Structure 1
Amino acid sequence: MKKWIGIAIVSILIVVGVTQVDWNRIGKDTLFVEIGGATDVEETTLENGDVMKRYIYTQSAFTEEGDQKEVTFTAGKELREGAFLRLYVKDEDTVTSYDEVKREELPRPVIEKL
């Protein structure tokens, strides 16, 4: 009986752990960017009449070594100008997720470029 309770607890912990992992960030390259204004705003009207906006940003981003790359990504809300983001990128140009970071958290080569 104790064996089955132990197996059940371990199984529950594994399931909870797997569901809490953000798969959009694991194994991705990171780029750093300082947000400027949105390049474009895409509006979509839903069936119920609500309007959904996607803000499109195209700008220069930097690798941890300071190499510059052009990147395009979208956000469901307008991002704060001047904010620093860590972008999670797969296949060289597809942004899967992002986090706001403080200037002090940026790698030194990136700070020198921004």
Structure 2
Amino acid sequence: MYDYKVNEDWYHLSRYNDHPQFISTNRHIMQGMLDLKMCQWVASNNSLVGISEVIQHDPYEILIANNGYQIKRVNVNRGVVKIVNLDQDISKLVIQSDENKQIHWEVKYEHQL
């Protein structure tokens, strides 16, 4: 299980999977429950895919546990995305948009290390 400190008062606990998985977002104390509309691992494509509600001009952050996989590339259907590696196994997607929209995102991975 991951025990990732989100801030000084709140934690998010997730069951460990043997593939990359969503941890949380920066949008709400509920850490993605309101803004993350869909997130799933697509094993046939080695991809973590999702749909998020993004607010214009406000960086939207998604924390991901890579669980031994290495990120190959990140795609969004609109806006701009960058990846920030927080440590060896935790990465943060940062999505920026010029409008309030649902953003479809995909993190494509290399085979497991």
The answer to whether TM tops 0.5 is no
Write 1 or 2 for the structure with the bigger share of strand: 2
Task: Tell me the TM-score normalized by structure 2.
Answer: 0.25
Task: Tell me the TM-score normalized by structure 1.
Answer: 0.24
Write 1 or 2 for the structure with the bigger share of helix: 1
